[in-house]
Structure 1
Amino acid sequence: MLTLIQYNDPGYLTKENLSPSEAATLVKEDFINWIDVEITSQTYVDDTAGLFNIHHLIAEDILNTDQLPKFELFDDHLFFSTKMLSFDADEDQIMEEHLSVVMCKSLVITFQEGLPGDAFNELRKRIQLSKGLIRKCKEDYLFYHILDAVVDHYLQIMETLRTRIEQLEARSLADPSYDVMQQVIEIKKDINILRKYTVPMRDALNEMRVEADHFIQKSSINYFQDVADHLLYLITSFETSREMLKDLMDLHRSNQNSEMNRVMKTLTVVSAIFIPLTFLAGVYGMNFRYMPELNSQWGYPLTIGAMVGVAMIMALYMRIKRWF
C-alpha cells in the first residue's frame, strides 16, 4: 500500500492505496511530496526504487530489516534507516518495525515493514492542520519531523520503563518478600533493545549532519541537533536506569538476606529454649535403678514443671536482651 501526501503553504492533499506508478505521475515539484510505502513484496520496493531513481543498494537495505540504523549519501538523494519502536501494553513488550527514509529534492519516501500503526499520526495531523512551520518549510524539515517522531516514541518507552522501575522499588520497600527478579530481567531486556538502536542512530545522525550539508538547510541544522540531544538524553537514561535496576536487585538480595536472618534467629531461639529441656528429658530417660524422685508420685509433675520453668526463664531472658 502506498500513500501520497502533498503540501505547500497554501495547499494540502492526500491520496491512499496508490501503486508506485500512480504515485510517480502525481509527484509535483512545487509541493513537498511525502510517499509512505507499506512494504508488501520485494517487487513493490523494486518498482518504487526504479520509478524514483533510487540506487539498487538502497533497495537492498530497505528489504534488509535486520540491520542497525545507518546513513548513506548519494549524488541526488540520501538514505537513512532506523527502527520504529512502540510499547504494547497488552503483550507487555516492545514492538519493532524497520523504517527506511529516502530524501531528495521536494520528495521524502518512507518504507515501513507493514505492521499495524506507526509513529506518524501526530505528524500527519500537523501537516493537515498546518500547525507550526511544517507547511512553510522544505523537505528536510519533514525529514526532521519523521526522525523526531521515531525518537519521541523511544522517549515514551523509556519513561514507561522508568515508571515500572520506580513502582517495583516502592513495592519492594513495602513488601520485602515480593520477588522482583523476573520483572527486573524483563525491564533490562527492554532497555537493551532501546540501547541497541539508540546508539547507532545517534552515530548515523551525527554523520549525516556533517556529510549531508547540501541536503540540509542551515536553518534546519538546529532541529536535527535537537533530535541528537534527545538521543543523548536517552543514552544517559540507560545508564541511570541500569543503576536503578542494580540498586533494586541489591535491595531484593538484602530483603532476602534479612528474611533468612529472621528465620534463622527464630530457629535459633527455639533451639536454645529446647536445649535444657532436652537435657532434662535425657537425664530422666537414663536406665538407672536409683534416681531422685523416680519412685515419688510427684516426680513426673515436678520434672515437667521444672522444664516449663526453665523454658519461661530462658524466653524472658532472651526477650530482655531483645533477641526476638
Structure 2
Amino acid sequence: MKIRLVQNGVFTAVDDISETQIPPTDGFYWIDADVDDLVVLQPLFGIHDLAVEDCLTEEEQRPKLEVYESHYFLVINSIRFDDEEIFLRALNIFLGRHYLITVTRQKINELRAIKPVLWEQEVNTADRLMYHLVDLVVDNYFLVGDRIEARIEQLEENILMNTKKTHLNEIISLRSEILWLKKVLGPQRDVIAILNKKDLRLIDDQLQKYFVDIHENAVKIYETFETYRDLMANLREAYQSSVANRANEIMRVFTALTTIFMPLTFITGVYGMNFDYIPGMHDSYGSVILLIIMVGLGFGMFYFFRKKDWL
C-alpha cells in the first residue's frame, strides 16, 4: 500500500496511515492499495461492506457507481492486449472529500501513467484525480481498438491470399473476445453518463461537465466495437467463400484431368481387347505411333482447356 499527499501535482510520501484521517490544509491523499489492504482501510474510512465484497470477489466486475454517505464507490475496467489476447482488469475507486483510494488485484498501467498527468495539470483535488484516471482508462480502449482493427485487416489479407483452416479458429476466437468486450462497454458507457448527469456532491460541478467528453469517447468505443463485430461476420463469410472457391478450383482441375484421360483410357481399352486383328497391332512401329497419338491428344486437350480458361 502506497500513501501519498498530492498538492498541486506534487507527491509527498506518507508513512503513517492515521494521518489520512485529518483533511490536509492543501491537496488530498491518494492511497494505492491491494485488495488485502482493505482489512486496514475499511474501518478507517468507513467503507461499506458491499463495496469491500465487490473488491474481494474474483469474478469479473460489472462497471458501476455506488453512492454512500461519506464516499463513492466506482468500478471501471482497464483493458490490456497482450500476446494477441485481451484482458480486463477491474479498477476500484473510493472517492472521499479529501482522499481517493484505488484498489486493484493486478498492476494497471493507467495508475503509472497518471503521475505525469497530475504533475502537468497541477491536480489538487481527489475528484480531479478520479476524472483523469477514468479518462486514461477510456482512451486506452482506442489504442486496443486500433490493434484489433490491424489484426482484422491482417487476417483478411491472409484469408484472401492463402486460406488456411487455422484462420477459422482465429476468426471465432477474435469474434468471441469482441462480443465479450461489448458486454462490458455498454455498462461502462452508462456509468460514465451517470458521472455527468447525476447530482454528486463530492464532484465539483464544473469538473462534472468534463465527463461529457469522456462519455462521448465511451460511446465512440462502443460503436467501434459494434463495427468490429460486423467486420468479423464479413470475415467469416469471406473465409467460407474462399474455401468454397478453392474447392471449386480443385474440382475443376480434377474434372479437366478426368476429361483429358477419358479418350486415352478409351484407346488403351480398345487395344487391350483380345481380337485377332486391330489396326497397327502387328506393325513394328504401331506402339510408338499409338503413344505419339495419345500424347498429342492429351496435350491438345490441355491446350484447349487452357485457351478456354478452364484450367
TM-score by length of 2: 0.89
Most deviating of 227-236 and 212-221? 212-221
CA deviations 1:254-299 (Å, max 9, x no partner) are: 2222222222222111111110010111111112223333333333
CA deviations 1:173-220 (Å, max 9, x no partner) are: 4x2335522332332233234323221111222234333432322211
1:122 paired to 2:113: yes
- The aligned residue for residue 24 of structure 1 is 20
1:278 paired to 2:265: yes
Map 1:1-324; keep pairs closer than 5 Å: 2-9=1-8, 12-15=10-13, 18=15, 21-22=17-18, 24=20, 28=24, 30-39=26-35, 41=36, 44-66=37-59, 67-89=61-83, 92-113=84-105, 115-127=106-118, 129=119, 131-132=120-121, 134-135=123-124, 138-173=125-160, 175-178=161-164, 179-324=166-311
The answer as to whether partners of 2:70 and 2:96 remain within 8 angstroms in 1 is yes
The answer as to whether partners of 1:103 and 1:139 remain within 8 angstroms in 2 is yes
> Structure 2 vs 1, CA of residues 187 and 79 (structure 1 numbering), >3 Å: closer, same or farther?
same
Q: CA deviation at 1:170?
A: 3.0
Most deviating of 22-31 and 309-318? 22-31
The answer as to whether partners of 1:120 and 1:149 remain within 8 angstroms in 2 is no
Q: CA deviation at 1:104?
A: 1.7
Q: CA deviation at 1:29?
A: 5.2
Partner amino acid, structure 2, of 1:71: L
The answer as to whether partners of 2:63 and 2:191 remain within 8 angstroms in 1 is yes
Partner amino acid, structure 2, of 1:112: T
The answer as to whether partners of 2:86 and 2:177 remain within 8 angstroms in 1 is yes
The answer as to whether partners of 1:24 and 1:52 remain within 8 angstroms in 2 is no
Q: CA deviation at 1:320?
A: 2.9
The CA distance in 2 between the partners of 1:238 and 1:272, in whole Å, is 50
The answer as to whether partners of 1:73 and 1:212 remain within 8 angstroms in 2 is no
Most deviating of 313-322 and 70-79? 313-322
The CA distance in 1 between the partners of 2:198 and 2:4, in whole Å, is 28
The CA distance in 1 between the partners of 2:296 and 2:108, in whole Å, is 76
Unaligned 5+ runs, structure 2: none
> Structure 2 vs 1, CA of residues 172 and 56 (structure 1 numbering), >3 Å: closer, same or farther?
same
> Structure 2 vs 1, CA of residues 265 and 23 (structure 1 numbering), >3 Å: closer, same or farther?
farther
The answer as to whether partners of 1:169 and 1:248 remain within 8 angstroms in 2 is yes
The answer as to whether partners of 2:78 and 2:89 remain within 8 angstroms in 1 is yes
The CA distance in 2 between the partners of 1:81 and 1:162, in whole Å, is 27
Partner amino acid, structure 2, of 1:34: W
After superposition, the CA RMSD in angstroms is 2.4
Most deviating of 228-237 and 289-298? 289-298
Most deviating of 234-243 and 162-171? 162-171
The CA distance in 1 between the partners of 2:189 and 2:273, in whole Å, is 83
CA deviations 1:46-72 (Å, max 9, x no partner) are: 320110122222222221242311111
The answer as to whether partners of 1:5 and 1:33 remain within 8 angstroms in 2 is yes
The answer as to whether partners of 1:24 and 1:51 remain within 8 angstroms in 2 is no
The CA distance in 2 between the partners of 1:222 and 1:306, in whole Å, is 89
The answer as to whether partners of 2:92 and 2:103 remain within 8 angstroms in 1 is yes
The answer as to whether partners of 2:196 and 2:209 remain within 8 angstroms in 1 is no
